[in-house]
A and B are shown apart, each in its own frame.
Chain A
Amino acid sequence: MTTIDRRTLLKGGTALAAAGMLSGEALLDYARAWAQTSPWKPEKGAKLTVMRWKRFVPAEDEAFMKMVEAFGKANGVEVNVFSESFEDLQPKASVSANTGQGPDIAWGLHSLPQLFPDKVIEMNDVADYLGKKYGGWTSAAEITVKSGNKWLGIPVASIGGYMNYRKSSSEKAGFKEFPKDFPTFLEYCKAMKKNNTPAGFALGHASGDGNAWTHWILWGHGGYLVDKDDKVIINSAETAKALEYAKQLSETFIPGCGSWNDSSNNKAFLSGELHCTNNGISIYVAALGDPTKKEIAEDMDHAYWPVGPVGKPTELQLHVPILAFKYSKNPQAAKAFIAFMLEKPNFDPWLMGAKGYLTHCLNAYDANPVWTEDPKRKVFSQASQRSLPASGIGKPGERAAAAIADFLVVDMFANVCLGREDIKGAISICERQAKRLYRA
């Protein structure tokens, strides 16, 4: 081995990692070099505890842990990682924030840092550093973690969901291309039903899939739960139009959508009964991994959500921001760790490992090979770009998160689509619930 200085290492490391191949040793060398130039110097003998959500893809976890190890060794920081399920993460982080005990860093969902803005370390320097270096942040990601001018956390990634459809049956229904607007999409679903290759979207209490497609239609028509001052404005002509459209759409669905939870459409799609639905990349990954589902994997593809009458994408994607608590004894180490995570030599192989489950929020990662390696993953690269924050045009924060967790919009659509209430009744129930959550 020739002698190498910091500079060549950084260059070499970057090049290697771009191919997603940085080995353990090279990664450690890179981490050492990084530690020398980094603006954040970890405290002596620092210890970090990181709480994260439970992984779906083993390869993503492996890449993450490799990075954790390299960071720890290079900076002399002891990093411990533990994971919690999606549902337990938020309560645990809230309790930590308010008792001042627990992990230093929490990697959570939605607008987690907004729940306790006074208890987190301001990340403006980290956000500026990364934003400048990697082509800027996507707008939805930025809104999700920012309060005024303060970055309360760093948007690590989004978990994208898109249209999953079967190519052969779509072509048979007369659609060479997946529909791009609402009227065409309705025609598409009608044609699919006629051929007995129906579409279907969850109308049960499916926190991911149900919220995603109902918000997409609501926002696509220009309807919102609350305005920018968090005033409830769901009772509008736009909402009524959205519900009318959804009602027509739901008449083309495969029977049983009323009972669907997040995994129901995965099962139905993989069994070949369902030919179009909304989902993350998990259906495709499962089909690839199962030799008996080879035909489905080959025949399926993903598409952007069609754009509604408002003329711009109105997708609801799940953001996963990371934050550091103020009570942490090692704020510099925490900042260094978070910045290190999103550096190219780390983030590139990590995105690769996630196989499309995770989408970057830093624009430069559009060039990551994960999106070109398999063209069927490509649409997922835009998840963060095309997404609105979960709060729509309202303020991101706990009320918006509660409205999603409480299925306000999902139930409003389900009420109409399942014929339990007329449009007016469904809106007024939703309005009443929204006022409950948004009361002063």
Chain B
Amino acid sequence: MTAATLDRTQAKSPARHATAWERLKVNRDWLGLWFMLPAAGFLIFFLAYPLGLGVWISFTDTRIGRSGTFIGIENYQWLADDSIFWLSVFNTILYTFVASVFKFAIGLYLAILLNENLPFKALLRAAVLIPFIVPTVLSALAFWWIFDSQFSIISWSLRQLGLITQNINFLGDANMARGSVIFANIWRGIPFVAITLLAGLQTVSPSLYEAATIDGATRWQMFRSITFPLLTPIIAVVMTFSVLFTFTDFQLIWAMTRGGPVNATHLMATLSYQRAILSGFLGEGAAISTAMIPFLLAAIMVSWFGLQRRKWQQGESND
């Protein structure tokens, strides 16, 4: 077929109409397709393929280094009846929800604060970024020491002050451990929210505030009717990312508790790793990872549909 096409191309007469091939050659969409290919190739090989493979493995009894056979939804059936798996789902949702709410509230507050004319503004803004710059594993190790059952600096200080007589059992008690890892995650996540929202705040035109001041608006009214609506699109993006990062968090938990005590801080990501890599049950670990997809998809949908809407884009109500 190609050969035939070539033959015809060579034998063409100048007066003849352009062939389909010739028309295609100058077609801009066709050219665009080729330009798109490298990017699409990357996406397919490095994202779509592994994702598809992961989903496929979750339907098999694959162990590490040994390909498995298709077993349908057996892995999921076992998980459905597995209290530790459901505990990890509960932990993940709790972890994501609580951490995201706090990160948003504190991040927004910090952003507004940093947007004011403060002394040493540049320095302060840089300082806020520190938790974000420190490698996660390092900060996790630092928190691990801070929350240590014997050597916690917090316990020590409070004991020196005479406020407590015994060390606080930060990571040894289920709820305390949850609180501690959530706290570490919030500390780490705030700079991302704060700095991005600060960037958003700076795009708000000062003339709007001037006009509002002339109209006699209070600061709260200004925030409520100018700042917040104009900031909504960026809030949507930032919080989507923040939720995604938190939901899939692994390093903090792994360095601090390894999912203990008695799985009270196991997230879906850490449980998946433990079962897939450490115990060697790749199929089951993949099933746990795959079970995260619906949640992540939901978070992405919120932002995707949100970004489509002009109200979110421009802060106006002309949908």
Contacts and interface: CB of A to CB of B under 8 A. Distances in A.
- A and B interact: yes
B280 A398 contact: yes
Given A204-B258, A406-B278, A268 B171 contact: no
Interface stretch (A25-33, A52-60, A254-262, A310-318): A254-262
B64 A91 contact: yes
Interface stretch (B6-14, B29-37, B260-268, B307-315): B260-268
A95 B62 CA distance: 12
A96 B64 CA distance: 10
B196 interface: no
B171 A259 contact: yes
A420 B264 CA distance: 10
Contacts, number: 129
Contact of A402 (B83, B169, B280): B280
B149 A414 contact: no
Contacts of B275: 406
B202 interface: no
Interface in B172-201: 172-174, 177
B261 A406 contact: no
A271 interface: yes
Interface in A400-425: 401-402, 405-406, 411, 414-415, 418, 420
A415 B261 CA distance: 9
Interface stretch (A36-44, A222-230, A431-439): A431-439
A91 B169 CA distance: 35
Contacts of B213: none
* Most chain A beta carbons < 10 A, residue from B78, B260, B274: B260
Contacts of A267: 148, 150-151
A439 B75 CA distance: 11
Contacts of A411: 262-263
A338 B236 CA distance: 61
A177 to B, nearest CB: 28
A95 B83 contact: no
B192 to A, nearest CB: 28
A402 B65 contact: no
Nearest to B284: A436
Given A91-B277, A271-B151, A432-B83, A205 B169 contact: no
Contacts of B151: 267, 271
B279 A257 contact: no
A260 to B, nearest CB: 7
B169 A259 contact: yes
B167 A256 contact: yes
A112 to B, nearest CB: 11
Contacts of B262: 258, 411, 414-415, 418, 420
Contact of A258 (B81, B260, B278): B260
B261 A203 contact: yes
B257 A205 contact: yes
A276 B110 CA distance: 48
B63 A94 contact: yes
B292 to A, nearest CB: 20
Nearest to A97: B65
B262 to A, nearest CB: 5
A387 B281 CA distance: 27
Interface in A232-286: 254-261, 264, 267-268, 271, 273-274
A402 B84 CA distance: 16
A273 B279 contact: no
B166 interface: yes
Contact of B166 (A91, A255, A258): A255
Contacts of A205: 257-260
A436 B172 contact: no
- Main secondary structure on B side of the interface with A: loop
Given A258-B169, A259-B149, A259-B177, A436 B261 contact: no
A267 B147 CA distance: 14
Contacts of A260: 149, 172
A87 interface: yes
B22 interface: no
A205 B99 CA distance: 24
Contact of B149 (A98, A256, A420): A256
A254 B166 CA distance: 11
Given A116-B65, A205-B258, A255 B167 contact: yes
A49 to B, nearest CB: 17
A406 B263 CA distance: 11
A420 B83 CA distance: 14
Contact of A418 (B63, B65, B257, B261): B261
* Most chain B beta carbons < 10 A, residue from A204, A411, A429: A204
A368 interface: no
A90 interface: yes
A398 B63 contact: yes
Given A94-B63, A255-B172, A259-B177, A401 B260 contact: no
A204 B66 contact: no
Contact of B150 (A204, A271, A405): A271
A204 B65 contact: no
A127 to B, nearest CB: 25
A398 B83 CA distance: 23
Nearest to B261: A258
Contacts of A203: 172, 260-261
B82 interface: yes
Contacts of B95: none
A271 B148 CA distance: 13
B319 to A, nearest CB: 50
Contact of A268 (B150, B173, B258, B280): B150
A94 B151 CA distance: 39
Nearest to A398: B280
A405 B65 contact: no
15 contacts: A94-B65, A95-B65, A98-B66, A258-B169, A258-B262, A259-B149, A259-B257, A261-B260, A271-B150, A402-B279, A402-B280, A411-B262, A414-B261, A418-B174, A420-B264
Given A94-B280, A401-B279, 19 more contacts: A87-B277, A91-B64, A98-B65, A115-B280, A116-B65, A255-B149, A256-B149, A257-B149, A258-B262, A259-B170, A259-B177, A259-B261, A264-B148, A268-B149, A274-B150, A402-B281, A418-B262, A429-B84, A433-B84
Pick the 4 closest A-B CB pairs, nearest first.
A256-B149, A94-B65, A258-B172, A259-B171
Interface of B: 63-67, 78, 81-84, 147-151, 166-167, 169-174, 177, 257-264, 274-275, 277-281
Interface of A: 87, 90-91, 93-99, 115-116, 203-205, 254-261, 264, 267-268, 271, 273-274, 398, 401-402, 405-406, 411, 414-415, 418, 420, 429, 432-433, 436-437, 439
